[in-house]
Structure 1
Amino acid sequence: MGLFSNQFANVVEWEEYRDDVIFWKWTNREIKKDSKLIIKPGQDAIFLYNGAVEGIFTESGNYTIDSQIIPFLSTLKGFKFGFNSGLRAEVLFVNTKEFTCNWGTSSPIRLQAPGLPGGLPVRSNGKFSFKIDDYNVLIEKVAGIKQQFTVDDIRDRIRGILDGLLMKWITKVGGDVFNLMANSVDIAKGIKEDLDMELLGIGLTITDFRISEFTYPENIQKRADQAAEYSMIGDMNRFQQVNMVDSMARGGRTGTAGSNATDMANAMVGMQMGMAMAGQMAGAMNQMNNAATQTAGTGTAPKFCPNCGQPTNGAKFCGNCGTKLI
């Protein structure tokens, strides 16, 4: 008996457990009589014999294999341990928890934007969660050829398709490319559905997908901030002049055509954003002026002064500029 004792296992359990491992396969050894199966909380144990599922055990605890496990297996119920012989089987230990990990774009995605023929480079990041959905599919597609499967394996699989899905759903949802977070919930919902279809093919399911932020190149973000500042004072001519001077100054320092082109592109982005914001402000002022014009001459003071836009509060003369209102 001593000649064979080292070939047999006394305990079948998940050895060297790691929290980021989705499943781990106990294999290449024979199980001897009176050996124990140990299932820890958060684990399921799947007995495999000749590649087929014999039984799935979901309750944590310590079990004697020949008396408490084998009687419940599909085709091994009558297995008898003989002299110097053991049961050669595989046990797949599965981590039943929900996994959560970070994701990020592998490279900037380029979105169509006004004034940028080459597109606006955008990066994004966030978190996603997943768990095992179908043991049979997981065994057929993955566990049959792998000893273990980790979160990094899933992250690599998702990274290969995520950039394309971001482009697809940003375009599909639409909206302002300079404020993608306004539509981030709808974009994330669409990506989650597509990723779920992808992972269902290997027995997993996406339980959550979230976008934390969209980031733009620092120089373009700076131009966007400048655009907001200039749009507040409504001086578009001055904005364009300043951008042209800044671009020429930077071009003089670098002396490269590529940098000049980049600076001009940045300036165009800033002008586009500033003009859009200024247009909104001008529209609001026009509405106030129209309201004032419509009420003038009716014997009733307008709500806003047609000259300076100050609220009139029903007075006959504007308290700010003195304009006669009735």
Structure 2
Amino acid sequence: MNKNNFKKTSYNQPFIEQRADPYVYKHTDGMYYFTASVPEYNKIILRRSDTIEGLKEAEEHVLWRKHEKGPQSIHIWAPEIHYIYGGWYIYYAAGDAADIWEIRPYVLHCKGQNPLEDEWEELGMMQAADGDEFSFHAFSLDATVFQHKGEYYWVWAEKTGVGKQISNLYIAKLAAPNKLATVQVLLTTPDYAWEREGFWVNEGPAVLKHGDRIYMTFSASATGACYCMGLLYAHEDADLLDPHVWTKLKRPVLQTDTEKGIYGPGHNSFVKAEDGVTDLCIYHARQYDEIQGDSLYDPNRHAMIMKVNYDEKGFPVFSYDTMS
């Protein structure tokens, strides 16, 4: 289709164009960092600004490029930048040009304290915990990390099964930035019809803390207009490695809205606004649904922003009427 003929509304204007799987991190100095998948899937980029809005026009730095062959030579996906254990780390997924779906999670480490100027080094593939015979042996991606009660938790998507494989979400504690401390625990598998359109998928986890709960959004189904966001939650005092403490809502919390011209919203991150109080949801979506070929290779998934509101019970409310 002619991409200039999409339905333009006040709701579906991009924050940053052609940047999918957007991740925004606010550092302790108040600076914002932005990274995302680029349409070529061949490099990792980073922007920095002292305001959210400033990320739009901030200079984009290329921190790392794909290998010419072998592992990490294709499908560089969904980078996230984190400052943990006193240093800068980027988690990302990558494939092998000889087997393009041999997707695994990898780790970069910044040798200095300035992630835009100092050198980055490869730490290789993420390592499973000792005795873990399951993690990272199959299609694995979309890792995120969060801290709770002094410990770091790592959450990622990994496929399992034979025939029609299923992408589940797993959680573990970290022993080090590039190694798990505990054996994987299954958090969620695609249970509902809205998680099974095209592919059976739970992926793209993002953590939001509010009140006495920990919320985790995730994305479901194939990457076209059926892509949407679901929600898990647990009490802050619960054992987060116990899958029984997590509850999944039966319906998606964000999905395609044809009237507003927003298609396939998902793979989000959360960040505080400049006021330090308001929660923002940074997600990607398209402005049309007529895609020729594989939706994964359509370049027009754009980063967008909405303000997160909360209902009377403290649950997050995701509404296109709060677009920033």
| TM bucket, shorter chain | under 0.3
TM-score, normalising length: structure 1: 0.23
TM-score where L is the length of structure 2: 0.23
Structure with the largest fraction of strand = 2
By relative contact order (CA 8 Å, sep 6+), the higher-ranking structure is 2
Which structure has the larger Rg over C-alpha atoms?
Answer: 1
